[in-house]
């Protein structure tokens, strides 16, 4: 096992509030969220940078980000939109060297709350937040076309 914080989360060797997991991917709440429901999507296989990431796996990461962007709008979080973002490299403010896609729920008129969240980065009741996102994923999956 390497000393990567996100690999330890994948291996359940470090705590995290997971909202989704499959054979390839894991999604969990950001420990210092900008907004309620701020989630990180990661490939389970370690890749420090986008240049280390298999393109197919990158597509899976984005596909899950796409689902989560819908889930935060359809579940209890009732977001109106989301920012999806990858910081690739230290020059782009990447601080954890394991590729991660940020999914940051947004509400209409939340500009001031967003800026405050960017400064304070305080957690919001992780368990109820994660439950709302899981419910959103389930609601979207039920309504999904085959």
Q: Is 84 in the site for ligand AMP (CB under 6 A)?
A: no
Q: State phi, psi for 21 to the nearest 5 degrees.
A: -155, 140
Q: CA 80 → CA 4, 8, 17, 103, 109, distances in Å?
A: 33, 33, 23, 13, 10
> Which region, judged by CB under 6 A, interacts with ligand AMP, from 30-38, 45-53, 74-82, 110-118?
30-38
9 and 28 in contact (C-beta within 8 Å)? yes
Residue 16 binding: pick among Zn ion, ligand AMP, none (C-beta 5-8 Å cut-off by kind): ligand AMP
Q: State phi, psi for 43 to the nearest 5 degrees.
A: -75, 145
H-only helix segments in 11-110: 55-74
DSSP three-state, residue 110:
coil
Report the residue number, 36 or 98, with the smaller CB distance to Zn ion: 98
> Which region, judged by CB under 6 A, interacts with ligand AMP, from 19-27, 60-68, 94-102, 111-119?
94-102
Among 4, 31, 131, 135, binds ligand AMP (CB under 6 A): 31
Q: Is 93 in the site for ligand AMP (CB under 6 A)?
A: yes
Residues engaged in binding Zn ion (CB under 5 A): 4, 6-7, 46, 98
């Amino acid at each position: 096992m390497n000393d990567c914080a996100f690999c330890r989360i994948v291996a359940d060797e470090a705590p995290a509030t997971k909202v989704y997991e499959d054979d390839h991917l894991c999604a969990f709440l950001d420990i210092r969220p900008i907004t309620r429901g701020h989630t990180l999507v990661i490939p389970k296989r370690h890749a420090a940078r986008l240049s280390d990431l298999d393109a197919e796996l990158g597509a899976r990461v984005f596909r899950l980000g796409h689902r989560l962007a819908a889930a935060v709008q359809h579940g209890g979080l009732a977001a109106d939109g989301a920012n999806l973002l990858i910081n690739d490299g230290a020059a782009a403010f990447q601080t954890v060297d394991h590729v991660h896609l940020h999914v940051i729920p947004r509400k209409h008129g939340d500009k001031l709350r967003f800026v405050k969240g960017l400064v304070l980065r305080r957690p919001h009741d992780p368990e109820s937040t994660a439950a709302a996102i899981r419910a959103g994923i389930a609601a979207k999956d039920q309504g999904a076309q085959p």
